Structures are given as C-alpha cells and as structure tokens.
Structure 1
Amino acid sequence: MSTFPLEPQFLTVEQAAAYTGTSVRMIRRLVDQRRVPVAKIGSLVRIRISDLEAYLEANTRPAR
C-alpha cells in the first residue's frame, strides 16, 4: 500500500503559473521577492499548493 497522497502537494513554477492564470515570469518574480515560499530540491523549485493559495487569499481584494 502506497503512503503517497493521490493529489500532488507541490507544483513546478510552470504548473503554479497555470494554476493561478499568470505567467511563469510572474511566479518567478514572487519567488525571487520571497513573497511565496518554495522548496528547493537541488536546482528544482517546487511551490506548495497551500502556500500559493495562502498568498492568493492574502492578496485578494473584495469587489467594490
């Protein structure tokens, strides 16, 4: 029996861009500015979905 979750918990930069509907450049900028925490595995950058959602929630303004 596998102990791995069925849903991925981490996204690549490209997947995070698709998830948020933004560009890869925007995600890299957020990472470089340390506005979104990342996990680095060697040279690979992975973004936890919950961290990305927390950033989006904190930066969402209500409609007027």
Structure 2
Amino acid sequence: MAYEFCFLKVAVINQLFNELEVIKDQLKNIQQKQLSEQWIDSKDVPNYLGCSAKTWQKLRDERKIKFTQYGSIIRVKVSDLEIFLENHSVKRK
C-alpha cells in the first residue's frame, strides 16, 4: 500500500480549523432551535427545570409557564421553559 503525503501551509490549516468552528457553531444553533421547538411531557419538566414535581405542579397551577393539556396529557414547549428560566435568572450586580 502506497501512502501519499500532502503538505499544507500552517495558515491554510488554521483557516480550515476556523471554518470548521463556524460550521460547528451553526450546527449547534440549529440543534438548539430544533430542541426549543420540541414539546416534552409534563413528567420530564421537573428534571429539565431542576425542581420537584410538587414545584412543577405549583407553577402550572399559578400559570407561570405555558402548557397544553388534553385530558390527563400535559405537554410543554421547551422554548417556554427556556423563557421562564431566562425571565427568572438572577443578574449579576
């Protein structure tokens, strides 16, 4: 088996790495957008928020977070959870 070698200038390699980083960031943004448009089941919300099931129930009762309910099925948009977290984040002094 024969090997071929290709020599590239360091500047070209650095440019390729920079372009790969840009692509990586774009893919991450696309994935985050797709995730935020997803709906999750109510039982998964406490884990997402880092709270207890009782706290999640209280947030629903007080209508602090938007949700959709059909019978006993409750679904929540991930983007609504993100909005809630952002609105309740503590800012630095």
Fold conserved (TM > 0.5)?
yes
5+ residue gaps, structure 2: 1-33
Cα separation, 1, equivalents of 2:48 and 2:92: 21
Paired positions, count: 59
Task: Give the fraction of aligned pairs with identical amino acids, expressed as a percent.
Answer: 27
Counterpart residue number, 2:50: 21
Displacement of 1:42 after TM fit?
A: 2.1
After superposition, residues 41-60 of structure 1 pair within 5 angstroms as 41-60=70-89
Higher RCO, 1 vs 2 (CA within 8 Å, ≥6 residues apart): 1
Question: What amino acid does structure 2 have at the position aligned with 1:62?
Answer: K
Counterpart residue number, 1:3: none
**Bigger radius of gyration, 1 or 2?**
2
Displacement of 1:46 after TM fit?
A: 0.9
- TM-score norm. by structure 2 comes to 0.56
Query: What is the RMSD computed on CA atoms of the aligned residues?
Result: 1.8
Cα separation, 2, equivalents of 1:62 and 1:14: 29
- TM-score norm. by structure 1 comes to 0.77
5+ residue gaps, structure 1: 1-5
Q: Is the 8 A contact 1:13 1:28 kept in 2?
A: no
Please state which structure has a larger fraction of its residues in helix.
2
